[in-house]
Amino acid sequence: MCKVEVCLDLLRPLEAREHELLSRAHSIYGLLRVTPEGSARRLRVVYDATRLSGEQLVSELRRLGLPVSPPIRGAAPSPA
């Protein structure tokens, strides 16, 4: 297992319905933890990089209906 922690910016603050979607995010294979951060303009995500790539993570979160933007290219993720 290779735990990676990233902060993903949100395109807009989460609405009440989207906060409920956060509990569904834990069903994504390889996703370990998702928590809103600060003024709900970012998500702190911990995932297993051996099971899920960063691009797949963003794609899966968007598929759930969460308005995440992809991480900035070249920004190194911090190990959890």
Domain boundaries, the chain: 3-68
Checking if the pLDDT of 12 tops 60, the result is: yes
Say what the pLDDT of residue 15 is.
Answer: 87
Say what the pLDDT of residue 16 is.
Answer: 86
Residue 43: name the closest of 17, 16, 25 by CA.
25
Spatial separation of the C-alpha atoms in residues 77 and 79, rounded to whole Å? 6
pTM over 0.85: no
pLDDT digits (tens, 9 = 90+) for 17-67: 888 888 888 899 999 999 998 777 899 999 999 999 999 999 999 999 999
Pick one of 1.10.1740.10, 3.40.50.880, 3.30.70.100, 3.40.50.720 as the CATH number of 3-68.
3.30.70.100
